[in-house]
Amino acid sequence: MLVFISGGVRSGKSTLGENLTEKLSNSRKIYLATSITYDEEMIQRVILHKKQRSGKGYITIEKSTDIGAILVDIRNGDTILLDCLGNLLANEMFSDKIIREKENIVEKIFSDICLINEKAENTIIISNDVFSDGCMYSDSVISYIDTLALLHRKIVGIADKAIECIAGCQVVHKDCIESER
């Protein structure tokens, strides 16, 4: 099963992802962390996330780029929680201070997600909603936002469930599981 969860900063999306991981998992729970801790705020957020899942049996894999490399670590039956797609994309797009071509990055990340999802029993993807603030940005930031939107559409297209978190509330936009019952 593939579940996609999006939302703004501190909207409850990571907590929802962890709760779904607990509910769906029949085997190992792998937390695929994509953050790079550049500043004190990110360090504190990572510490908080680790504290929240402490004692819950997660195996944490920190992989800020090239997530397909974790395929060797995944077993059939695992539940993967990828947190966060937005960080992964930024890491891939802006690594080495070179802005990479968005079509190639989208295909690479999407392909890696498909391969992970084929091997795992469940894949839960957390991502950011950065599409609504109305601010003016540089061309590179606009390219990032457009690329993240493209990734969202591709992933939701194959997802079994798509959920948006808004101020701690969940809005289900797609639920193929419920429609099959």
CATH code, domain carrying 123 = 3.40.50.300
Q: Considering its fold, how many domains does the chain have in total?
A: 1
Residue spans of beta strands (DSSP E) within 8-160: 29-33, 58-62, 79-83, 122-128
Instruction: Give dist(CA 3, CA 124) in Å, integer.
Output: 5
Q: What's residue 181's pLDDT?
A: 45
Instruction: Give dist(CA 175, CA 38) in Å, integer.
Output: 36
Contacts of 77 (CB under 8 A, 6+ apart): 26, 27, 28, 120, 121
pLDDT by residue for the chain (181 residues), tens only, comes to 999 999 988 889 999 999 999 999 999 999 999 998 888 988 888 888 788 788 889 999 999 999 999 999 999 999 999 999 999 999 999 876 555 666 789 999 999 999 999 999 999 999 999 988 777 889 888 999 999 999 999 999 999 999 999 988 999 999 987 655 4
Query: For residue 165, what is the DSSP state?
Result: E
Domain that holds residue 119: 2-180
132-166 confidence digits (pLDDT tens): 877 788 988 899 999 999 999 999 999 999 999 99
DSSP string, 89-101: HHHHHHGGG-PPP
Across the beta sheet with 29-33, the strand order is 58-62, 29-33, 79-83, 122-128, 2-7, 161-166, 169-175
